[in-house]
A and B are shown apart, each in its own frame.
Chain A
């Protein structure tokens, strides 16, 4: 019963929080660029407006894929809140990722096609890092279960400082921030056509936007695990991490996917190895 309540709580709260974070993101970004920026609730207005638009599709599978993307993202957040298995939650999230790519590939537009292929490369880049983060959490706490991990008495950050940085790479890719925003950009500051989202419009684009809020919460939730012992520490950690993301986003230009794959895999694996060896030695 408690599990079900937690799942529902997660599914209800996550999009609200995710939307607010997106709004805050836009305001802070604006300030960093010496602009005033939109109101905090702008993302909600945007999505509401999208839902009011006429429905236009090019392939009916787009509709199917958009919905599955949203539901899988919501389910993964629900499972995370309910204290399920980290790896399982991640694989459920991957259902959404795969269906988003299938939706993008379902239309012949070259922009959408290239965007989807790049999205796959992004998944390819962050997935091994996330699995290694989970494995390292397991090595510290002895479990993949979020409920067991929360029972661990020390912040994970103490033993896994480098893994947190590795997670940061995955976070940047997942949030679609520069320099890793190849498939589509979170802010439209360096692309004209919207990559994988090119052919999604109106309510279906709104659905994907809400799915993206869920994913934001999903990955920030995993960041939060690194300082689960204190609420203040947890909020501090997430806030500073997100702010660092904004700085990176605003100071970097989009690079090439070849560079991303080489750079993130080599740095990410090197840091993971060092951190795992510390664990073995300790």
Chain B
């Protein structure tokens, strides 16, 4: 049963991807994507019920899986090298060669191939990741079906490029599942490279000049991460003589010698999770069609980076490296949230907020207490749901109004009430209690409170994120609005995915105490007593059920009051009494008695938070912090 489930989780997406590529009929492709998604989701839940396990796949037709992975790995690296030559990018060439040569030397002369290393290991962390990838990732793939159809209509393509698109999109899910389930570090490295390559292909999908440029940058920075990974892996093998990730983690606390390889592996995680100063590739990734952004930002790719840092956390607990990781993460959290305040491009706000939240998760890994690790896992789960939802909302809005600028979203409720409300739900689940993201943030802040620098950065970062979220939710409602607005029409799959993701973000938050006791506590250890849905420890309490129930009642009551207000008198918008008298016109009488249309826009505070103003300094400080972190490890 178990091997079957693993095959479905990792290899089914590969088979489905090939199917999507060759069976070039849109109906069959949609069916393949839907079926794969449903199976993946079911398998991920079944695996979650399975609990911790270790597994070695052995051989297939006389060849060991290990050699197959190695073979595929070199094939992939040479494909990347081909693209490096095609794109004429010197840096990528150097970075890829710096992976090929050490890896070849390592495989041929160092690795003892006689030693059996269990290829697959799963604990709660891996299984939660598999569930996040398979469920949220599949929902994003569903959304992509109607989205890509519209997208290609907008672009007036003669020949559909969807087969290739869905090939990489579906393959990505399998690669991610492989990555989080791998125990053999060579396997982990292989899947790490597959995600790099898939994201490169997906970012460049539209093949515009900017898409190619940004895809190249993504490949370059992630190849740099790959180099750090290869050297970290070889060094770790030199110290421990094992490819077994669990052995490497257990060897961590034994000596200071292990810190350097661990630091390099964390660095690889940082590049993949787009931490400052490597953020530019993820910001560039927003040129890709929306489902790609949603996938990269929520359940895959960046979560791979976070996963590696978090997976290794026990190995560097209590060391200087751990403190360095916490500082780097906290700094990213603050810096990216601050820059997000100055942005008006909806996708860019989301991108910066993603990097910022990943920083928070990495900071938790660095804090390295049971409490902080719990926070990190909770953040991974709920951030994925809310962020996927928000990206898909921006995609839907963009198709609806032709813009992703939040200034153009003033009064969106009048045009797209359903999407507007779901977007607001998405924003609130990112921002407010009793939802999961805030539960994680609460744990993070409380566990960081002993560290002066980290807590200051978290406090500032948390405040700046409130600014860009709250105003976005607010302006969607800006309109003189008294009557019910009829809901806009949406394709079934769009509505289904948006509703499902919003449902996951809200309903799963309600079950966060159960998630904790069933999945997180057995793995990381107990830090809270749960009674009646209240997280309690001598240090703090978070009453999930009571607050949830009271607020649900409050929302229902407020909605009833709102319904009752339908009979209230309408007031004209206040403009100092200078309103243009015609009804339905939002203008005032200006100079020369001519009407002036109302226009209000957000405060972007560019003199404090401007991207141009901050980026250079942020990168500089971040680089210094990384040097500090690695230097301390050496």
A residues near B (Cβ < 8 Å) are: 54-61, 63-64, 67-68, 71-72, 75, 79, 84-85, 87-88, 91-92, 94-95, 97-98, 101-102, 104-114, 116-118, 120-121, 123-124, 127-129, 131-132, 134-135, 138-139, 142-145, 148, 193, 198-199, 201, 258, 261, 269, 272-273, 276-277, 280
Contact = CB atoms under 8 A, between A and B. Distances in A.
A144 B562 contact: no
Given A199-B571, A199-B574, A59 B479 contact: yes
B459 A135 contact: yes
A261 B608 contact: yes
A194 to B, nearest CB: 9
Chain B, interface size category, equals 35 or more
A114 to B, nearest CB: 7
Contacts, number: 223
B574 A85 contact: no
18 contacts: A58-B481, A60-B565, A88-B433, A92-B433, A102-B473, A102-B474, A105-B478, A109-B574, A116-B471, A117-B602, A120-B466, A123-B467, A124-B464, A124-B466, A127-B466, A128-B463, A129-B459, A139-B449
B562 A63 contact: yes
B452 interface: yes
Nearest to B441: A91
Given A88-B433, A127-B459, A61 B562 contact: yes
Contact of B474 (A105, A127, A199, A269): A105
B616 interface: no
B452 A87 contact: no
A107 B477 CA distance: 8
B476 to A, nearest CB: 9
B542 A88 contact: yes
B193 to A, nearest CB: 40
A143 B536 CA distance: 11
A75 to B, nearest CB: 6
A273 B460 contact: no
A108 B566 CA distance: 19
A138 B446 contact: yes
A108 B598 contact: yes
Interface stretch (B39-47, B165-173, B176-184, B548-556): B548-556
B445 interface: yes
Contacts of B431: 98
Contact of B470 (A67, A92, A102, A276): A102
Contacts of B566: 60
Interface in B445-469: 445-446, 449-450, 452, 455-456, 458-460, 462-464, 466-467, 469
Given A60-B565, A92-B433, A273-B452, A108 B474 contact: no
B554 to A, nearest CB: 4
A68 B558 contact: yes
B27 interface: no
Interface in B554-591: 554-555, 557-559, 561-562, 565-566, 568-576, 586
A247 to B, nearest CB: 28
A5 to B, nearest CB: 15
B320 interface: no
Contact of A104 (B474, B540, B557, B573): B474
A58 B600 contact: no
Contacts of B449: 134-135, 138-139, 144
Nearest to A106: B477
Interface string B407-436: 000110100000000000000100111000
A58 B570 contact: yes
Nearest to A146: B541
Nearest to A71: B554
Nearest to B413: A61
Contacts of B466: 94, 98, 120, 123-124, 127
Contacts of B574: 107, 109, 111-112, 193, 198-199
